[in-house]
Amino acid sequence: MALGPSFPLGDYASKDLENVYAGYAGIGEFVNISYSRLIGKYFGFSAALHGQRNPLNTRELEKDFSTLKINTGGIWAGPTPFPPPTLPFTYTLYPDWKFEKDAWLSGSFLLGGYGQFPFQKRNNISFTEKAMLGVIYVSSPGLNGSSITDTATAHVEQKGSTGFGMAWSLYGGLKFDKGKKLFLSAGLECSGSNKIKFKDIKSTITTTKGSPGSPGYSAQQTTVTVDGKQNINSLNFYIGIGLRLL
């Protein structure tokens, strides 16, 4: 079993509201339970269960939404599934956003090749490598954020969704034998997936201007339901402990 920090890569880590694939994923953690067996002297096969969590980067969301131009109808362009507004349009900037914490969650099952190469002068230390393919199940985070001032409010809510896809993993590391049964391991894994489809993501934005009961008070709400896509790419650092069964 191994665990360690998980660093999101590419669009998964992107914090660009103009990028429709931006995941706003932050540094998280993962756990990996694997079984490896040599068939020949140096090569064999491996199977693994992999779980990963990357929290939503709410700090960047709050900063970016504070500069976001939200039009009169409440539709904007960004990583959420709202379509871009039709020009010309009037817009309002809503400051001081606060988003609730949530996270990307994923679990995968992988199969592939395994290599183990002992150091000549230190037989208890081996270089190991894996190349694996499999399936992944991902749960996307929901969005729940608000901007509240004396003269205007805005509230964004987006439901989370789930999807299946194909996953891959490339791993290289070191194995330290600590007797006949116990060993320690440390390494680096680069993992990724195809663009996973998330169906029926429901997003709602509600905006108000003025004070309730005043002559100029107005309220608007827009709701859309569309599909989204996201790659799950990350760089993971391993520290683990294992048992030799044979």
Q: pLDDT of 45-64, one tens digit each? A: 999 999 999 999 999 999 99
Give me the mean pLDDT over the 85-90 stretch.
50
Q: What percent of the chain has pLDDT over 70?
A: 91
Does residue 136 carry a pLDDT above 70? yes
pLDDT at position 46 = 96
Tokens (6 digits) for 212: 């309730």
Count Cβ atoms below 10 Å from residue 142 Cβ, excluding itself: 17
CA separation for the pair 233, 240 (Å, rounded): 21
CA separation for the pair 3, 198 (Å, rounded): 27
Closest CA to 204 of 149, 129, 145: 145
pTM: 0.87
Burial 78-89 (b: 16+ CB within 10 A, else e): bbbbbeebeeee
Number of domains in the chain: 1
Please give the span between the terminal C-alpha atoms of the chain, in angstroms, as a whole number: 17
Question: What's the pLDDT band for 145 if we cut at 50, 70, 90?
Answer: very high
CA separation for the pair 52, 234 (Å, rounded): 10
Tokens (6 digits) for 78: 């960004």
Closest CA to 114 of 200, 32, 173: 173
Give yes or no for a cis peptide into 5 (omega within 30° of 0).
no
CA separation for the pair 88, 81 (Å, rounded): 21
Q: Which domain holds residue 239?
A: 2-243
CA separation for the pair 19, 121 (Å, rounded): 51
Lowest-confidence segment of 16-30, 78-92, 139-153, 226-240 by average pLDDT: 78-92
Give me the mean pLDDT over the 122-133 stretch.
91
Give me the mean pLDDT over the 16-28 stretch.
91
Residue 103 near residue 54, CB atoms below 8 Å: yes
CA separation for the pair 58, 133 (Å, rounded): 32
